[in-house]
Amino acid sequence: MNRKDRRAAKVKLARPALQDLSKALCLAAPWCIRKWWGDDLTPSAVMSFAAREVLRRHQYGGEPANAVLLIGNPQATLCVGDKRAGYDLVVRRSAGRAPSFEEWESATIFSGDAEGRHTVLHSYENTQQSFLDLTFGQVASATKGAIAAPPCFVAFGPINWHAATFGDVWLQYAPAPGPSPPAVDLENWRGLIEDLAMLVGVALGVQNNEQAFDEEMSNLLRGR
């Protein structure tokens, strides 16, 4: 049943919980990225602002924020975003045993949007909070597979800047200095927003079951 059919039938769909909506964005985003950018670097700011628009359609707030991501394993270390903010995070993590900036720079891989930016999305309502990085999967391509990463990173709860470990991979987010992320001209990305909103609806329709979502997407592609 599409949106027009629901209005005609006067069916009021339940508003999804923020956690469910965030998970649906994580399922939908990789498909949108493949369609709009293919193998090219996806701007994290564009994806964050597009996701904010989808959140607003479900009456949730969202705030894109400048961030730096440090992620590594025994094979490689990657800094996504502002280089100086990344090094400041290294210093804070090292308890006085940090390498010099030059030593760290020479041993680290760097990635991010133009001008060394990386944008994430905080979403919230009352006590519900989520943290979304919808271009997290670029970690794998930036390190040429040395660091395996899922397409998106999502976390829930009151912690604004997350640290985590996955097997031998560690990661840490931190705020990056500077003004707020530059506003994205959403009119130029209206098609992306509509694609993302539609696929979020598909994900919610299968209760964010990844296998069922992939099957639905395969059916949609075959029906083109």
* Residue 8 falls inside a structural domain: no
Flag whether 127 is in a domain: yes
Domains held by the chain: number: 1
Instruction: Give domain status of residue 104, yes or no.
Output: yes
Q: In this structure, is residue 65 part of a structural domain?
A: yes
75: tokens are 């094979």
Is residue 224 situated within a structural domain?
no
- Cβ atoms of 169 and 72 closer than 8 Å: yes
Cα four-point dihedral sign 37, 39, 45, 47 = positive
Of 120, 114, 159, nearest in space to 136 by CA: 120
Q: Could you tell me the CATH number of the domain that includes residue 137? A: 3.10.550
pLDDT tens for each residue of the chain, 224 residues long: 445 444 443 444 688 999 999 999 999 999 999 999 998 889 999 999 999 999 999 999 999 999 999 999 999 999 999 999 999 999 988 877 899 999 999 999 999 997 789 999 999 888 889 999 999 999 999 999 999 999 999 999 876 788 899 899 999 999 998 777 767 788 899 999 999 999 999 999 999 999 999 999 998 887 75
Provide the domain limits for residue 39. 17-180+189-218
Give the Cα-Cα-Cα angle 193, 121, 141 (nearest 5 degrees).
Answer: 80
In a domain, 2, yes or no: no
